[in-house]
Structure 1
Amino acid sequence: MKTPAFLPCTDGARLGLGGAPLGNLFEAMDDAQARAVVDAAWADGCRSFDTAPHYGHGLSERRLGDALRGHPRNTWRLSSKVGRLLTPQAQVPREQHSYVNTLPFIQHWDFSASGVRRSVEDSLQRLGLAQLDAVYIHDIDAATHGPGAASVLRQVLNETLPELTRLKQAGLISHIGLGVNDHQIVEQVLRHADLDVLMLAGRYTLLDQAALPTLMPQLVKRQVALALGGVFNSGILATRVSADRPITFNYAPAAQAWVDKALGMQAVCDQHGVSLPAAALQFALAHPATQIVMLGVRSAAQWQAARQADREVIPSDFWQQLRHEGLIPAEAPIPGEAA
């Protein structure tokens, strides 16, 4: 029997730990702080973890491997990504691609068959492991690659996916998928190939349901296991929305339309005594395509806050009011509603 790509927390909560903060995304943490985050999540029952070479140029992988290696291998799941290769360089900038104090490597794109095999083998070396539970092809969308996106897609179909299939047959990986911020590129790939898993960041959230009409039904029909990331849209849904502080959406200052929509949601939250992060997390989990939500946290306290948000009791009237005010689509599944 095929092993699942993800495991829920030991109490059944469908939450996992994302590894971007462990690679010093935006701000640095030392090894002890990083280890404390992983250990706290593990002690609280977390059993699914995600990382990538991109996250701190190998730093996240090293830290996660060190933290997890002592636990029985069949009791947890770990994913990483391909698409970027790391090359050693003695002097590197303090900040690279929004990661600070990275390991002494620079990165370059490589979706070739040889590059993919090297990427997986390098990741296993950094992690100190013999197998990855899932490997995602990382960031192949047009926003990332611009005019070269069509060429990247061709290479992904002709080289990357076939090589990952060979690595799967060799037992180095168990599940193959995409790790992207754009739902449209997933639909393009699905026209030509099957996927086991998908990590989609930011495109199915309380604020942004771009993936709802066309992609999410395909995932259910084709039994693609979905891990959602970015369910707080890089900050705007992570705390109480206030117009008098900087608000980020999609890793950048939020456009006014997103701010206005979030403020409308905050007003409904206030009427029903609901916290916005709880609404965001539970909405993302309510879709039948969603198997797990991966959370990027910097501390045990942030992990516990997310766990509390998952447990918060939200009245059904809250969701109905969001629908009535046009803040979420009528066809979007809501917690407690039969699919």
Structure 2
Amino acid sequence: MAPTELSGVQRAIMKTRTIDSSGIQISELGFGAAGIGNLYRPIDNAHALEAVHEAWRQGVRYFDTAPHYGAGLSERRLGLALQELPREEQLLSTKVGRMLEPLASNAPVDGEGFAQAAPFIRRYDYSYDGVMRSFEDSLQRLGVGRIDILLMHDIGRLTHGDAHDEIFRTAMESGFKAMTELRDQGLVKAIGLGVNEWQVCDEAMNHTDFDCFMVANCFTLLENGITERFTDRCRRERVSLIVAAPFNSGVLAKGSSGSGHYFYGDTPADVIERVKGLEAVCREYAVPLPAAAVQFPLRHDCVKSVVIGMTDDARIRQNIDWYAHPIPTEFWHTLTDKGFIRPGREA
């Protein structure tokens, strides 16, 4: 089947939502391109391109990448794959905040979790000039003239520790100015943050005017404090959310007996016990745990898309099945009653 072919059944399955402030249409499932940047394990170019094309055939139209993923490898591969597909139907996001600098001759490559990463050093830079240079470099790696959504990557205490306050000030006063100019010039349609902690998004909203936030690992069946008040603030201020890593890096896909990661590391014993509790409710209602993990964020109307790693045809089709699996309302009520998820205003 050619990359652009899509069956009527698949078209009916994949729905879209709207980024509130910009009117951008986004597919409810997004392609997370860290995997084609060799996250945890290497894949070859042919498999990377086929993964993008299979996601397209399944109705996915949103593709997210970053310079960090494979030190530019993900952007290069994604750009090549998307060149074969209609640009007007694509929604593309990448990130700023890290500059890639060539390694010295014969210097060892630090993949930072990415196998066989490209030979570059990643250097944090949230300044005006750094954002502009990063954006221009991404355009060249992707082979495009514009980016639909531009996200500032990995600000927050979880990443930067004691340096957070200074980095945050630079990001808000300098880097954000560059992102705003790019939006005003029409080179990007929407701007936001791409982070692993929603609290820094809450902090950023006190300083700046963002369109959306990508939050990873913190809007899940295991981590959902975000719904206590922050989702209400996003609704009030018309800021949209994109949820990445709905499986908490793997454990909610592989289950309590699997080897899935949790926050990019090993899964602690207490988290395994919580997963077992979730699995018991899933068995009661005949709901696959990964299906519940994918669909949970989409129950909230401020959430516009869920981004999942996709690296091979079988996994992509499995993601679509989980996305479309019917889940009774009573299932969600039981999870709330048992304290796994918090009550919140849902879609």
**Fold similarity call, TM over 0.5:** yes
The residue number in structure 2 matching 1:336 is none
- 1:305 partner amino acid: Q
CA-atom RMSD in angstroms = 1.7
The answer to whether the aligner puts 1:97 opposite 2:112 as a matched pair is: yes
Match of 2:324 among 295, 300, 311: 311
Aligned pair partner of 1:276 in 280, 289, 295: 289
Query: How many residue pairs are counted as aligned between the two chains?
Result: 327
In the alignment, which residue of structure 2 is the partner of 1:296? 309
Code of the aligned partner of 1:265: L
Shift of 1:279: 0.8
Take 2:186 and 2:228, find their aligned partners in 1: how far apart are those partners?
36
Q: Distance in 2 between matches of 1:64 and 1:165?
A: 25
Q: Which range moves more in the overlay, 66-75 or 33-42? A: 66-75
Using the TM superposition, give the Cα deviation of residue 95 of structure 1 relative to its aligned residue in structure 2, in angstroms.
Answer: 4.5
Relative distance call for 1:247 and 1:129 in structure 2 (3 A) is closer
Is the Cα contact below 8 Å between 2:58 and 2:320 reproduced in 1? no
The aligned runs of 1:74-93 (5 Å cut-off) are 74-89=88-103, 90-93=105-108
Per-residue CA deviation, residues 247-293 of structure 1 (Å, 9 max, x unaligned), is 53111122222211111010111122110001111111111111011
1:65 Cα shift? 0.6
What is the distance in 2 between the residues matched to 1:317 and 1:128? 47
Q: CA deviation at 1:211?
A: 1.0
Bigger mean CA deviation after superposition, 144-153 or 93-102: 93-102
Superimposed CA distance per residue, residues 12-32 of structure 1 (whole angstroms, 9 cap, x where no aligned partner) = xx1110110010001000100
Map 1:139-150 → 2, pairs under 5 A: 139-150=154-165
TM-aligned CA distance change 1:276 to 1:167, over 3 Å: same
Q: 1:16 aligns with which of 30, 39, 42?
A: 30
Q: Which deviates the most, 108-117 or 245-254? A: 245-254
Q: Distance in 2 between matches of 1:174 and 1:317?
A: 39
Moved more, 307-316 or 148-157: 307-316
User: Is the partner of 1:327 in helix, strand or coil?
Assistant: coil
Following the alignment from structure 1 to structure 2, what is the Cα–Cα distance between the partners of residues 201 and 91?
34
Change (3 A) 1:270 1:93: farther
Unmatched runs of 5 consecutive residues or more in structure 2: 1-19
Q: Which amino acid aligns with 1:29?
A: I
Stretches of structure 1 that go unaligned for 5 or more consecutive residues are 9-13, 334-338
Choose which of 72, 76, 96 in structure 2 pairs with 1:62: 76
Q: Which moved more, 1:97-106 or 1:167-176?
A: 167-176
Mapping of 1:1-339 within 5 angstroms? 4-8=23-27, 14-89=28-103, 90-242=105-257, 245-331=258-344, 333=346, 339=347
Q: Which runs of 4+ in 1 moved over 4 A?
A: none
Give the deviation of 1:320 after TM superposition.
Answer: 2.1
Structure-2 separation of matches of 1:272 and 1:165: 47
How many percent identity over aligned positions? Answer: 38
CA distance in 1, matches of 2:338, 2:325: 23
Tell me how far 1:176 sits from its aligned partner: 0.8
Relative contact order (C-alpha < 8 Å, sep 6+): which is higher?
2
Normalized against structure 1, the TM-score is what?
0.92
